Amino acid sequence: MLSELIDFLASLHPLVVHLPIGIILLTIAIDVFMKNKNNSVQRVITMGWFFSFFTGLLAALFGWFLGDNGYYFESQINIHRWSGVAFVSLCFFIWLMRYINFRFSRAFNRSINITTVILLTVTGHFGGEMTHGQNYLVENLPFVKKEISSLKITEAKKTETDSLFVYEDLVYPVLEEKCMACHNQNKAYGGLNMSAFESLVKGGNSGAGIQKGNPYKSLIYKRVSFPHDHPKFMPPAGVPLSYDQIATLEWWIDNGAEKQMPVTLVRKDPKVQRMMELQYGLDLREKTYLETLQLASIASSDLKVLEDEKYMWRFLNPEESFLDVKFTAKKIETADLLTLQKIKKNITWLNLSDCKLSDEQLGYLSEFPNLTRLKIQKNPMLTNKGIEALQELENLSQLNLYGTRINDAAFTTLGQMKSLEKLFLWNTRVTAKGIAAFKAQHPDIEVIAGL
């Protein structure tokens, strides 16, 4: 009962504060602007100071109750609280002096008026900031640019999207900025401490902070998505969560709210992915092997090895680090392969078709770390044995074997290739049955066989 009464009085604070403001401004206006003040006017002014003191005292008392509910930041409340107390004390002191007919000098009177207005402004400003949020006035000035997304992800992390985690990089920083002043291990309003993942999930006095898989049963999510004027809306002071921050929180909880959930998991929800890309300036598309590879551009001295009619080549990227090389002579020698080995890091596409390549020579290619496309078609000497060496090419995604002598037994080797996506097999000795069995085991690999 008593606590309800106190809550009620506390809720009157924002209303009652306007009384001393109005009264004191009017009193000072009369004092400043009325020349020849007779006794009645002087008495009105004395009364003005009294009512400012009295209504100010009520406002301060109610405010004291309100400040105790934990809905405000202590840093803001302290200035507001003590400048309010100073204002009330000053009003009381001035009223008392006037009441006992103490005569002020003009200069003293003026400084009293100025001090009072300053105190009033400071108190009012910090009070307003607590209810409307910081920079409320400034943000609403016309022509002032407003900052919308507040989440800061460092540039280094933006390029390394594979190592971004939803909780650590997108959720925690927001909670830290907007909630933890009131929900930490020292001060945990509602019994809720958000500074550690475990206690965030556990929640406070009224239940689970996060119920993994169900945002609508998670108090953290519920409280931030209430309408702003709902008494349980969080945060009660300061800047509310933005739309994208709430959407990210919802998506994270919906998908299990694991501590180590990678941001790239969002690829299965294109809408949320798009939102994250726009709001946080991230590029969350799946990257090909080459996009993730940072290779220095090839030195022109190294390129000299290709200065021969036998080789045709071009750069595959503007940074001039990846090469597409084609061997054009009728017959390849082992020396040619040794030449190519000198720039093996840079060769990404290689075409050695129709040049009488042998099984042993294929062995030289096993050390080309960045080879992604290899064409060795129309080399009728090649057999299953030769392509075994290609198993080591971890990044090979396209392989053209048409017109070679490989047969169904080669599928064992081909099945080992981790990055294989496309395979050309027509005019070889593989059978339709062999292909069908291979496809059943590796549905992601596209087989072009012309059978």
Q: Which stretches of the chain bind ligand HEC, using CB under 6 A?
A: 69-73, 178-179, 181-183, 189-192, 203-207, 209, 219-220, 223-224, 232, 234-238, 241
Q: How far is 127 from 77, CA to CA, in rounded Å?
A: 8
Shortest separation between residue 130's beta carbon and ligand HEC, angstroms: 9
Q: Which DSSP string corresponds to 387-420? A: HGGGGG-TT--EEE-TTS---TTHHHHHHT-TT-
Pick between residue 206 and residue 334 the one whose CB is nearest to ligand HEC.
206
Nearer to ligand HEC, 220 or 382 (CB): 220
Closest CA to 248 of 227, 274, 228, 223: 274
CB of residue 251 to ligand HEC, shortest distance in Å: 16
| Strand bridging mode 347-351 / 323-327 | parallel
The minimum distance between CB 245 and ligand HEC, in angstroms, equals: 9
Nearer to ligand HEC, 48 or 236 (CB): 236
Q: Which is nearer to ligand HEC, 69 or 214 (CB)?
A: 69
- Angle at the Cα of 236 from the Cα atoms of 6 and 128, rounded to 5 degrees: 85
Helices (H), 186-269: 197-202, 219-225, 243-254
In the complex, the smallest distance separating the C-beta of residue 183 from ligand HEC, rounded to whole angstroms, is: 6
Which residue carries 């009003």 as its tokens? 91
Q: How far is the CB of 237 from ligand HEC (least distance, A)?
A: 4
Q: If we measure between CA atoms, which residue out of 194, 199, 198 comes closest to residue 182?
A: 194
Q: Specify the residue, 190 or 363, whose C-beta has the smaller distance to ligand HEC.
A: 190
CA distance 213 to 210: 9
Cβ nearer to ligand HEC, comparing 245 with 321: 245
CB of 82 to ligand HEC, least distance (A): 18
- Name the residue nearer to ligand HEC (CB basis): 221 or 313: 221
**Alpha helices by DSSP H, 100-206:** 106-132, 136-139, 155-159, 172-178, 197-202
Q: How many CB atoms lie within 10 A of CB 423?
A: 24
Nearer to ligand HEC, 81 or 345 (CB): 81
Q: Residue 62 Cβ, how far from ligand HEC at the closest point, in Å?
A: 18
How far apart are CB 412 and ligand HEC at their closest, in Å? Answer: 56
3-state class of 347 per DSSP?
A: strand
| Secondary-structure breakdown of the chain: helix, strand, coil percentages, each rounded to the nearest 5 | 55, 5, 40
Q: How would you classify residue 147: left for phi > 0, otherwise alpha for psi between -120 and 50, otherwise beta?
A: beta
